[in-house]
Amino acid sequence: MTTKTNVQADEGNTVEGRSSSGSHAAVVLTGDRPTGALHLGHFAGSLQNRLVLQEQYPQTILIADLQALTDNAGRSARVAEHILDLAIDYLAVGIDPTRTTIAIQSQLPALAELTVLYLNLVTVSRLERNPTVKAEIELRGFARDIPAGFLCYPVSQAADITGFRGTLVPVGEDQLPMIEQTNEIVRRINRMVGHVILPECAALLSNTPRLPGTDGRKASKSLSNAIDLGATDSEIRTAVQSMYTDPAHQRASDPGKVDGNVVFAYLDAFDPDTNAVADLKNRYRDGGLGDVLVKRRLEDVLQALIAPIRRRRLELAGDLAFVRQVLKEGTAAARAVTDSVAVDVRAAFSLDAVVR
């Protein structure tokens, strides 16, 4: 399987150096909400990086089922169904459970405890000012009827990150306020105690541009413009053939635009032969290269990429006992870590002094 990474090792080192935990190696904390099948956008945006990160650092992937409830409270059964799918996707792309801990958020009661404690350290106006929350409130059309859990989810994310003593958090630019909110809480707790019990974390920004949907808009399940990791041969073919290119590029001989051309965005993301792609781009810009040829190349690349993932997904779907076992062991390991953090944070709030 082709694995192109965009994580710079020295970025990790820098971050590690900046971590207030000082003596410890970096710990990666990442995760997804189980709200639907993963697609190539996820592969380019996060899964590939995780494959590299698991070679370098202790890494936990949190399946954030509780967070998914913040705007899916009435659709909890569907959220539960997606947990196994998500685990299958992880394993199918090569996440190695001996290197990466895969854990289910709702099975880690310490995270709820940390959330409730941290809520006392953050003001409502601070949460309302959070740009990520503001943007998502607008996106979801909540207006004044935001579920309280949704307003509070930066605090829940701080619980997730600190619950694993996470120091490296792969995020997009738009999630930087979450990292800042987490570190505000970390510093407040450390000040309360008088020494460092929680490390600060740093964003691990990827330089991968966001992969567009096949129509050029943001990839989204509801727009049916994404290619799932389990897509069949014919689904891949149909998707590639329907891809948005350059509407002004009518004939092969016309000069064509590469920027905003979805086919080239996918080639940039997945074609291992970057020189060949650069060459194709030049020919396309100059005129003389038809969409059909470029799409054929992309289709070959995607078929080669997805075929082994699809095969592995089928195998895993036929061995759910194994997938469940991976989740069970990962969650148990995660519980040990998060429980130990909760003990420290509870002590910071002078809890447990009377009864143990």
Rounded to whole angstroms, how far apart are CA atoms 26 and 16? 5
* 319 contributes a contact to its own copies by CB under 8 A: no
Q: Parallel, antiparallel, or unpaired for β 202-205 and 28-32? A: unpaired
Rounded to whole angstroms, how far apart are CA atoms 345 and 323? 32
* Torsion angle of C-alpha atoms 139, 142, 146, 151, degrees rounded to 10: 10
* 349 contributes a contact to its own copies by CB under 8 A: yes
In total, the chain counts a number of residues equal to: 356
Residue type, 178: M
What does the block give as tokens for 22?
Answer: 């000082």
Q: Hey, CA dihedral for 186, 187, 189, 190, is it positive or negative?
A: positive
Angle at 31 between CA 149 and CA 137, to 5 degrees: 35
Ramachandran class of 216: left when φ > 0, alpha when ψ lies in -120 to 50, beta otherwise: left
Which of the ranges 72-80, 214-222, 244-252, 261-269 carries the binding residues for its own copies, by CB under 8 A? 72-80
Burial class (CB in 10 A: 0-12, 13-18, 19+), 282: exposed
By beta-carbon proximity to its own copies, the closer residue of 112 and 176 is 112
Shortest Å, Cβ 327 to its own copies: 5
* 223 contributes a contact to its own copies by CB under 8 A: no
Among 47, 53, 104, 219, binds its own copies (CB under 8 A): 104
Outline where DSSP puts E strands in 307-346.
none
By beta-carbon proximity to its own copies, the closer residue of 93 and 323 is 323
Alpha-carbon Rg for the chain, nearest whole angstrom, is 22
* 122 contributes a contact to its own copies by CB under 8 A: yes
Rounded to whole angstroms, how far apart are CA atoms 228 and 234? 12
* 79 contributes a contact to its own copies by CB under 8 A: yes
Which of the ranges 75-83, 169-177, 250-258, 296-304 carries the binding residues for its own copies, by CB under 8 A? 75-83
Which of the ranges 36-44, 142-150, 278-286, 302-310 carries the binding residues for its own copies, by CB under 8 A? 142-150
* 135 contributes a contact to its own copies by CB under 8 A: no
* Sheet-wide strand order for 59-63: 100-104, 59-63, 28-32, 168-171, 202-205
* 155 contributes a contact to its own copies by CB under 8 A: yes
What does the block give as tokens for 132?
Answer: 């990520």
What does the block give as tokens for 276?
Answer: 């060949």
* 90 contributes a contact to its own copies by CB under 8 A: no
Phi/psi for 61 (5° steps) reads -110, 120
* 318 contributes a contact to its own copies by CB under 8 A: no
* 162 contributes a contact to its own copies by CB under 8 A: no
Among 13, 25, 96, 124, binds its own copies (CB under 8 A): 124
Site string for its own copies, 15-54 (x = CB under 8 A): ----------------------------------------
Rounded to whole angstroms, how far apart are CA atoms 342 and 205? 28
* 121 contributes a contact to its own copies by CB under 8 A: yes
Which of the ranges 6-14, 24-32, 113-121, 165-173 carries the binding residues for its own copies, by CB under 8 A? 113-121
Count of residues that interact with its own copies, criterion CB under 8 A: 56
By beta-carbon proximity to its own copies, the closer residue of 139 and 354 is 354
Shortest Å, Cβ 193 to its own copies: 11
By beta-carbon proximity to its own copies, the closer residue of 15 and 110 is 110
What does the binding site for its own copies look like in residue numbers (CB under 8 A)?
65-66, 69-70, 73-74, 76-77, 79-80, 83-84, 104, 106-107, 109-110, 112-113, 115-117, 119-127, 144-152, 155-156, 192, 324, 327-328, 331, 346, 348-355
